[in-house]
Amino acid sequence: MSRVYNFSAGPAVLPEEVLKEAAEEMLDYRGTGMSVMEMSHRSKAFDTIIKEAEADLRELMKIPDNYKVLFLQGGASQQFAMIPMNLMKNGTADYIVTGQWAKKAYQEACLYGKANKIATSEDKTFSYIPDCSDLPVSEDADYVYICENNTIYGTKYKELPNTKGKTLVADVSSCFLSEPVDVEKYGVIYGGVQKNIGPAGVVIVIIREDLITEDVLAGTPTMLRYKTHADADSLYNTPPAYGIYICGKVFKWIKKMGGLTAMKERNEKKAKILYDYLDESSLFKGTVEKKDRSLMNVPFVTGSEELDAKFVKEAKAAGFENLKGHRSVGGMRASIYNAMPIEGVEALVAFMKKFEKENA
Ligand SMILES: *Cc1c(COP(=O)(O)O)cnc(C)c1O
């Protein structure tokens, strides 16, 4: 068996320990004689799995009691619709557009009400986070929406926007559990788990209870109402059971690693190795404003498309996978999520140094 260093933006690297444990439990989950994939979501064994997963997540993120944790399906993209359908009571919401994912969410919201783009960084290909200290937040906005870490462009809000008292809704797909968060600052925090937590198929929504109401947009399907899932503790219908089981294992792995403070330190250390090199290299350059750099997704270029392609190809041959940048921006991108070991980043930088020398 040989494992590569996988820099994919998602689905992405998972902790090896977790994968090994899952493999050991594949045929017979703790004496049940079956795999978690094969068991009823109403069984005692699964009940324990989902309850423990929620409890561990609550502990990790210090989620207050007046927030619900929902394990849903449909990916992060389903939330682009669910959020306006459930939260647009006044029919108005403000969006800060800092990349493709925020833009898609904004465009989706336009289908359901008045969505206002109150700030954007599209003028410079989303290479920075706009100043959000005094935005023209709408008087009747039901919420202000952000994508907190921009997976494609590699930017991250270092400070949350001043929403002037309005509910903050955040897509944290690509920075979920990468550092401590103050849940109370948000009305809704959500993310697809396939970036930093588990296998594709699960989306986690952390939502303040007062936002879960029956007063939703007319025609909202039962499955797209937060209340349906909150009332049933995420078991209204068959949940993505195996995915939730793996997420639960990753929560336990993070707890063992020291929790979110330790994750942040580790992630800062990893990102620094790569950013420091990008700053000193005469071949490779980072593409975003330094103050807005993401700890999770690190895009870079050589300045020559030909050399970029050569780098990606040679890197792949040397065991560094998925370094090609998003199809919309080109260049390279190294996603260095929680489960990427520090050795992976060190090895990548050593390889980049060698490439730089050979191609000077
Ligand atoms: C990947 C990603 C999405 C889309 O997730 P799906 O689960 O494929 O719908 C949305 N937002 C962000 C920030 C992402 O990184």
Q: Which position among 94, 171, 292, 308 bears the catalytic label?
A: 171
**Helices 100-109 and 75-87, axial angle in degrees (round to 10):** 40
| Amino acid 322: pLDDT | 97
Residue length of the chain: 360
Q: Give the pLDDT band (50/70/90) at residue 228.
A: very high
pLDDT of the residue at 113:
97
- DSSP character at residue 181: -
Q: What is the pLDDT of residue 152?
A: 97
**Nearest CA residue ID for atom 14, ligand 1:** 173
Which two structure tokens, joined as six digits, stand for 20? 């090994």
Tell me the pLDDT of the chain averaged across its residues: 97
Tell me which residue has its CA closest to atom 13 in ligand 1.
173
Mutate to test the pocket of ligand 1, among 151, 193, 194 (most ligand atoms within 8 A of CB): 151
What is the per-residue pLDDT across 86-100, written as a single tens digit (0 to 9) for each? Answer: 999 999 999 999 999
pLDDT tens figures, 25-45? 999 999 999 999 999 999 999
Tell me if 349 CB under 6 Å of ligand 1.
no
Backbone φ and ψ of 355, nearest 5° = -60, -40
Distance (angstroms) between ligand 1 centre and the Cα of 171 equals 8
Confidence (pLDDT) at 37:
97
Instruction: For residue 77, report the distance from its CA to the centre of ligand 1, in Å.
Output: 6
Q: Is 286 helix (H, G, I), strand (E, B) or coil?
A: strand
User: Side chain identity at 45, as an amino acid letter?
Assistant: A
Residue nearest to atom 3 of ligand 1 (CA): 76
pLDDT at 194 (0 to 100): 98
Distance 210 CA to ligand 1 centre (A): 26
The angle that helices 259-280 and 241-257 make with each other, rounded to 10 degrees, is 80
Does ligand 1 have an atom closer than 6 angstroms to the CB of 196? no
pLDDT-derived band at 328, boundaries 50, 70, 90: confident
Distance CA 49, CA 157 (A): 33
SS3 325: coil
Q: Look at ligand 1, atom 10, and give the residue with the nearest C-alpha.
A: 76
Query: Over pLDDT 90: what percentage of the chain?
Result: 98
The distance from CA 122 to its chain's CA centroid, rounded to whole angstroms, is 21
- The answer to whether residue 253 is catalytic is no
- For residue 154 and ligand 1, the question of a CB distance below 6 A is answered with no
pLDDT of residue 204: 98
pLDDT at 331 over 90: yes
Residue 162, φ and ψ in degrees, nearest 5:
-80, 105
**Pocket lining: 108 vs ligand 1, CB cutoff 6 Å:** no
How many angstroms separate the alpha carbon of residue 127 from the centre of ligand 1? 18
Ligand 1 center from residue 27 Cα (angstroms): 31
Helix then strand then coil, % of the chain, to nearest 5: 40, 15, 45
Does 151 contact ligand 1 (Cβ within 6 A)? Answer: yes
Q: Identify whether 101 is a catalytic site residue.
A: yes
Cα 70 to ligand 1 centroid, rounded to whole Å: 17
End-to-end distance of the chain based on CA atoms, in angstroms? Answer: 35
Alpha-carbon distance of 229 to 212, in angstroms, equals 10
Does the pLDDT value for residue 1 go beyond 80?
A: no
> pTM (2 decimals)?
0.98
pLDDT at 169: 99
What would the pLDDT profile of 242-285 be if each residue is shown by its tens digit?
A: 999 999 999 999 999 999 999 999 999 999 999 999 999 999 99
Closest Cα to residue 42, out of 241, 327, 186, 325?
A: 241
- Which are the contacts of 283, defined by CB distance < 8 A and separation ≥ 6? 302, 307, 355, 356, 359, 360
**Cβ distance 174 to 296 under 8 Å?**
yes
Q: Is the CB of 166 under 6 A from ligand 1?
A: no
Question: Cα–Cα distances in Å, from 283 out to 200, 279, 315?
Answer: 35, 10, 15
Q: Encode pLDDT of 166-200 as tens digits.
A: 999 999 999 999 999 999 999 999 999 999 999 99
340: CA distance to ligand 1 center in Å?
A: 19
- Find out whether the beta carbon of 192 lies less than 6 Å from any atom of ligand 1: yes
Which atom of ligand 1 lies at the shortest distance from residue 203's CA?
7
Is the confidence at residue 104, as pLDDT, over 90?
A: yes
CA gap 287, 121 in Å, rounded: 14
To test the pocket of ligand 1, the residue of 78, 101, 153 to mutate (highest count of ligand atoms within 8 Å of its CB) is 101
Residue 163 CB less than 6 A away from ligand 1: no
The residue whose CA has the least distance to atom 7 of ligand 1 is 75
Least Cα distance to 86 among 201, 179, 167, 193 occurs for 167
pLDDT(80) > 80: yes
Is 195 in the active site? yes
